[in-house]
Amino acid sequence: MAFALTPERELELADILGRYPNKMAATIPVLHLCQDQNGWVSPEVVTFVAATCDVPVAHVQGVVTFYTLFNQKPVGKHQVWVCRTLSCALRGADDVLHHCEKRLGIHVGETTKDGQVTLRTAECLAACGQAPMMQVDKDYHENLTLEQVDAILDRLKRS
Amino acid sequence: MIKHTTYLSRTYKLPDGHKLAAYEGVGGYKQARRVLSTMKREEVVDELKKANIRGRGGAGFPCGVKWSFMRPHPTKPAYLVINADEGEPGTFKDRTIMELNPHSVVEGCIIGCLGIGAHAAYVYVRDELHLSKARLWEAIKEARAKGYLGKRPFGVDYEVEVYVQTGGGAYICGEETALLNSLEGRRGEPRFKPPFPAQVGAFGCPTTVNNLETIAAVPTAFELGCEEFSKLSELHDTKDGGTRLFGVSGHVKTPGVFECCVGLTLRELVYDLGGGILGDGKLLGVIPGGSSCPILRPDELVNAPDEKSPLHRWHGKSVLDVPMGVDTYRALGTMLGTCCAIVLSDKADPVLAFHNLMRFYRHESCGQCTPCREGTGWIERILDKIVAGEGSLEELNLLHDVASGIMGNTICAFGEGAAMPALGFVQKFRPELEAYVKSGGKSGTGRLAP
Ligand SMILES: Cc1cc2nc3c(=O)[nH]c(=O)nc-3n(C[C@H](O)[C@H](O)[C@H](O)COP(=O)(O)O)c2cc1C
Ligand code: SF4
Ligand code: FES
């Protein structure tokens, strides 16, 4: 089925398209807008973005494959990114990551069986002074202890 | 000497400091109003040059000089692009401005647009910083509602619009030409230079790319008077002026971002602002300004007997006691970069730190240039082996050769940014690397966290 935006997101789309001298420049913001609604960039989303931004489908595919934040396949309801770069690693990011793997019963890159949580690693998320940290959906969780990680993961499994 | 200041961070501790009311309460938007109402474009640039604001994004290019490269084009508009990709490992300063003082960015953009002859500014923020983006949009809306943006800001006939643009999760988009491609809706692959952005930038038009902290410092410079602003710095005489944000992370007791006058030393950053080394550890090394800057060891002494050297004043002293400046640090063989230091204590295994960073660079290379794409992969694979206890002494030399082979052979400075820290680790941690190889990977602590 063809992809369509919700009415609220249609309004946002109009706003986005008004920001640039051409439509192509809206490609990345529009991809985010669609992914927010759809969870991932499906072939239907690619077609929609290509038509909306007046660019070839291959162009959109090239963009989607370049940037790590675009999901090329479906992901869990929630996404957890544990930063593993140096400042976080110096403050125990490895322990946080292993703890998440154990607690969720999955490896990095996988989604829990119930489809609730996808676990990933991230490169430096500009929170180095509050390490270790992880991003859960759109929120940062900083200065993490393993107890806090437990509380966050428990909440995600339920919500 | 530590000289704390609260210009860039003036609203950080105020309730609702990110809102217009708080910003105007501490004098915000007065400079944009004054500059727009009373100054000509050339006057803005000439004045700003005196501030000696060295680019806060890493390369340290003087902001006023960069603005002076912008020439009016007969048919094309000009653009101001603000770099808030903040992806350099160890760097977390621009985020504090966006979250806690976003109006300083908007005010800086208004002055910047006049200074370079643009009517639109795009602030490119990495996608993950959702709060930063929301705060910037909120600030833009507030400013527009007050009549500070739009067709006639402050009633002056000089249109200025500011927009926030989002990235998609790619470190390389911090490189200015990759950022421009990304802004245009393309893959974030760096472009060949020349042409430079001042000639052919965003949408094929003349463009200035400034780091977010750079532009946020502009209103303060105009408030104090640009020369006075510059003189706040210990390094004013060598054209490295003003105040800036210093970050410190890793093995220190109180990591964070601190605003101080330029001239702070690494020792002050680590031991005073950072509160000293975590636990009972000793300082092993500091990566001074983001991961692309070669590491410094505390036992290194300045060797500058030549009176003409910018380091001569500190000849024989510890490198930790040299003021942190763009030129002083270049002379030390490292870089000031983003001015956010990563501290390693002796509890950290330096070989694992080296490995962590090289994994990052291999992951983030955009792949356009063979020396960078293959070189970063090769370095990572050698380090994989060394960490697994299967490395050889020949491979230590190979690390050096591969890194040297990247230098100067790539489209963008990512290549050097990956190779220089590699060469730094190979040179400065040679004994540790050799011990690692000889002991089959057992000589280190085997951990990065204490
Ligand atoms: C690989 C790479 C990554 C970079 N990342 C950033 C970044 O995240 N933020 C930034 O402001 N500058 C970054 N830069 C520097 C920019 O290319 C550019 O020099 C800077 O934005 C110019 O602004 P300034 O003169 O105000 O510092 C990066 C450069 C390279 C080579
Ligand atoms: S140096 Fe590396 S990151 Fe830069 S353009 Fe070449 S391959 Fe891409
Ligand atoms: S290293 Fe994790 S946020 Fe920077």
Residues B275 and B223 in one domain: no
Residues B221 and B281 in one domain: no
**B234 lies within 8 A of chain A by CB:** no
Residues B355 and B375 in one domain: yes
Residues B336 and B362 in one domain: no
If you average pLDDT over residues B375-379, what whole number do you get?
A: 98
Q: Which residues does chain B have within 8 Å of residue A62's beta carbon, measured at their own beta carbons?
A: 186-187
Overall residue count recorded for chain B in this entry: 450
State the Cα–Cα distance between residues B326 and B232, nearest whole angstrom: 16
Show which of B321, B345, B369 is a domain's final residue.
B345
- Sign of the Cα pseudo-torsion (B86, B90, B92, B94, in order): negative
What pLDDT, in 10s, does the model give residues B62-120? 999 999 999 999 999 999 999 999 999 999 999 999 999 999 999 999 999 999 999 99
Residues B307 and B423 in one domain: no
Establish if B191 belongs to a structural domain: yes
pTM above 0.95, yes or no: yes
Pairing state between β A134-136 and A78-83: antiparallel
Contacts for B130 with CB less than 8 Å, ≥ 6 apart: A138, A139
Q: Report the DSSP beta bridge partners of residue A68.
A: none
CB B167 within 8 A of CB B127: yes
What pLDDT, in 10s, does the model give residues A87-97? 999 999 999 99
- By C-alpha distance, the chain A residue nearest B447 is A90
Residues B30 and B133 in one domain: yes
Q: Is the pLDDT of residue A159 over 90?
A: no
- Sign of the Cα pseudo-torsion (B87, B169, B167, A96, in order): negative
Q: Report the DSSP beta bridge partners of residue B318.
A: B301
State the Cα–Cα distance between residues B81 and B219, nearest whole angstrom: 17
The domain total for chain B is: 3
Residues B133 and B282 in one domain: no
* Residue found under tokens 């950072």: B274
Alpha carbon distances (Å) from A18 to A15, B44, B105, B106, B373: 5, 30, 22, 19, 37
| pLDDT confidence band for A15 (50 / 70 / 90) | very high
Q: How many helices (H) and strands (E) does chain A have?
A: 7, 4
Q: Which residues does chain A have within 8 Å of residue B364's beta carbon, measured at their own beta carbons?
A: 123
Contacts for B107 with CB less than 8 Å, ≥ 6 apart: B23, B28, B29, B31, B32, B218, B219
**A14 lies within 8 A of chain B by CB:** no
Ligand 2 centroid from CA B172, angstroms: 8
Residues B27 and B101 in one domain: yes
Residues B129 and B224 in one domain: yes
Q: What is the DSSP letter of B341?
A: E
Domain with B291 in it: 249-345
pLDDT value of residue B23 = 98
Interface of B with A in 15-74 (CB under 8 A): none
Alpha carbon distances (Å) from A142 to A102, B90, B427: 20, 15, 34
What pLDDT, in 10s, does the model give residues A52-75? 999 999 999 999 999 999 999 999
Establish if B15 belongs to a structural domain: no
CATH of the domain at B67: 3.40.50.11540
**Distance in Å, alpha carbon of B449 to nearest chain A alpha carbon:** 4
Mutate to test the interface with A, among B119, B187, B349 (most CBs of A within 10 A): B187
Interface of A with B in 133-152 (CB under 8 A): 135, 138-140
Residues B423 and B315 in one domain: no
Residues B33 and B135 in one domain: yes
Pairing state between β B243-250 and A78-83: unpaired
Interface of A with B in 63-102 (CB under 8 A): 63, 66-70, 84-87, 89-95
State the Cα–Cα distance between residues B143 and B121, nearest whole angstrom: 14
Q: What is the DSSP letter of B291?
A: T
Q: Which atom of ligand 2 is nearest to the CA of B415?
A: 1
What pLDDT, in 10s, does the model give residues A116-155? 999 999 999 999 999 999 999 999 999 999 999 999 999 9
Ligand 2 centroid from CA B5, angstroms: 38
| pLDDT confidence band for A1 (50 / 70 / 90) | confident
Contact A128 B89 (CB under 8 A): yes
CATH of the domain at B388: 1.20.1440.230
Q: What are chain A's domains?
A: 7-66 (1.10.10), 78-158 (3.40.30.10)
Two tokens, residue B128? 């993950």
Show which of B315, B345, B375 is a domain's final residue.
B345
Contact A92 B255 (CB under 8 A): no
**B12 lies within 8 A of chain A by CB:** no
Contact A86 B126 (CB under 8 A): no
- Burial class of residue B155 in the structure, from the number of CB atoms within 10 Å of its CB (0-12 exposed, 13-18 middle, 19+ buried): exposed
Residues B278 and B377 in one domain: no
CB B131 within 8 A of CB B99: yes
Q: Is the pLDDT of residue B413 over 90?
A: yes
* Interface A-B: count of C-beta contacts within 8 A: 154
* Residue found under tokens 């949408």: B203
- By C-alpha distance, the chain A residue nearest B365 is A66
Establish if B1 belongs to a structural domain: no
pLDDT value of residue B1 = 86
* Residue found under tokens 């050339």: B42
What pLDDT, in 10s, does the model give residues B19-75? 999 999 999 999 999 999 999 999 999 999 999 999 999 999 999 999 999 999 999
- By C-alpha distance, the chain A residue nearest B86 is A126
Ligand 3 centroid from CA B404, angstroms: 27
Ligand nearest to the CA of B180: 1
**Distance in Å, alpha carbon of B107 to nearest chain A alpha carbon:** 19
The overall average pLDDT reported for chain B is 97
Establish if B449 belongs to a structural domain: no
Alpha carbon distances (Å) from B157 to B28, B77, B114, B118, B392: 21, 16, 11, 13, 68
Q: Which atom of ligand 2 is nearest to the CA of B364?
A: 3
State the Cα–Cα distance between residues A40 and A64, nearest whole angstrom: 10
Q: Write phi, then psi, for A29 (nearest 5 degrees).
A: -60, -40
Take atom 24 of ligand 1 and give the residue whose Cα is closest: B55
Establish if B448 belongs to a structural domain: no
If you average pLDDT over residues B161-167, what whole number do you get?
A: 98
Indicate the residue type of A152: I
Establish if B78 belongs to a structural domain: yes
* Residue found under tokens 């690692």: B436
Report the Cα A93 to chain-centroid distance in Å: 19
Q: What percent of chain B has pLDDT over 90?
A: 99
Alpha carbon distances (Å) from B81 to A17, B85, B119, B120, B277: 18, 11, 11, 9, 38
Q: Is the pLDDT of residue B181 over 90?
A: yes
Q: ω before B195 within 30° of 0 (cis)?
A: yes
Q: Which residues does chain A have within 8 Å of residue B257's beta carbon, measured at their own beta carbons?
A: 129
Establish if B6 belongs to a structural domain: no
What pLDDT, in 10s, does the model give residues B324-333? 999 999 999 9
Show which of B345, B380, B403 is a domain's final residue.
B345
| pLDDT confidence band for B193 (50 / 70 / 90) | very high
pLDDT value of residue B324 = 98
